[in-house]
Amino acid sequence: MGQYSKTEIEGHLFLVTIDRPEVYNALHPMANQELADAFDRFAADPELWVAIITGAGDKAFSAGNDLKYHAELRAKTGGRPHAPAKGFGGLANRHDLDKPVIAAVNGVAMGGGFEIALACDIIIASDRAKFALPEPRVGLAAGAGGMQRLSRQIPLKRAMGMMLTGRHVSAQEGYELGFVTAVVAHAELMAEARRWAAQILECSPMSIRATKQAVQRSLDVPAMELAMRNAHYPAYLAMANSEDTIEGPKAFAEKRKPNWKGR
């Protein structure tokens, strides 16, 4: 239990809750560092295979930067707060995480909050969720990966339509645009996120890491032939030499559920 976040472990599932509902789960440097520490733990623990991140309360996933804190700090010291090396929410700059992360977006996901969700692999949204990169409206820009990720995850003209206006997008429109994986009734959000996590946990964690790593790394390789060379993907090679790659076919032949080792 942290001061600004909560973490729980359910078997191989790691649950992270941003816990500043009084400010719509907006983040300041201390909260960012706490989340970075939580995801460091997730990355390092071989028994944690999937993570879900959500926000406390019924109103917000995260409203992004705590602008009040920033303004007060600047007034007192003239300085700017620094984000941890792993970026906003401990995820925005975490480019080496091969384990899957699900965002369960329970309300507004604005600015940095939307950037946290975009840094996740799957976004499950409550039908009350709202998304935006409104930074230009307050003289800023979405510097935690939002500009780069949104323009890669949906058609460019649709992404520019969001970013150049800072407009709010509903969960349903986010689904239609393609950055939301699924939309559910608000009361069903965490159950749905857990259902997706459970489906991932039915698969070999070695295969999941190999898949995520290959997808993420191949995005930067324009030539298909080069992108398909497995030597570029250590997680694929680790999977190919793992116990899981023996257990999977064996369990299939024996008509039973596989006992994944994750190694």
Closest among 161, 159, 83, 71 to 116, alpha carbons compared: 83
Whether 22 is catalytic: no
Q: Which residues partner with 16 through β-bridges? A: 7, 53
Q: Which of 10, 22, 72, 115 is catalytic?
A: 115
Q: How many CB atoms lie within 10 A of CB 23?
A: 16
Whether 173 is catalytic: no
Structure tokens at 219: 């995005």
Q: Which of 22, 34, 72, 135 is catalytic?
A: 135
Contact criterion met (CB below 8 Å) for 234 and 97: no
Backbone angles phi, psi at 218, to 5 degrees: -75, -15
The alpha carbon dihedral of 160, 161, 166, 168 has a sign of negative
- Chain position carrying tokens 């990720």: 149
Q: How far is residue 134's CA from residue 154's CA, in Å, rounded to a whole number?
A: 18
Active site residues: 115, 135
